[in-house]
Amino acid sequence: MEQDTSHLQERMTIVGDLKAASFIPWIRRHAAKLGLSHSISHASSMRIELELSGPEELIDMMEVGCSLGPIDVWVESIERTVMIGETA
């Protein structure tokens, strides 16, 4: 029996020089364009934590987008952690 992993909840931690005021709105727009449910749980000039929910392929696309990001930020690393949620 296969487990359905097409819809995931993940925490994405972005680390780098993230001082640009444009990055948080950019993240929100990019997630919305991909159709991902998202919330930002921490934001500072060096680290942003966001929680994403959606198909794994779209979360992968979000990671690539954030790593390339706007020109005025420098992303050093992105760490992803699958969140264990309640099952219906």
Q: Residue 62: which domain range?
A: 20-81
> pTM (2 decimals)?
0.85
Strand locations in the chain (E): 7-17, 37-43, 47-55, 74-82
Pairing of strands 74-82, 37-43: unpaired
Residue 86 forms part of a structural domain: no
- Which tens digits make up the pLDDT trace of 36-59? 999 999 999 999 999 999 999 999
Residue 59 forms part of a structural domain: yes
Domain count, the chain: 1
Tell me the percentage of the chain whose pLDDT exceeds 90. Answer: 76
Residue 15 forms part of a structural domain: no
Which two structure tokens, joined as six digits, stand for 30?
Answer: 């990019």
Residue 31 forms part of a structural domain: yes
By the 8 A CB rule, do 8 and 54 touch?
yes
Question: In angstroms, rounded to a whole number, what is the distance separating the alpha carbons of residues 31 and 26?
Answer: 9
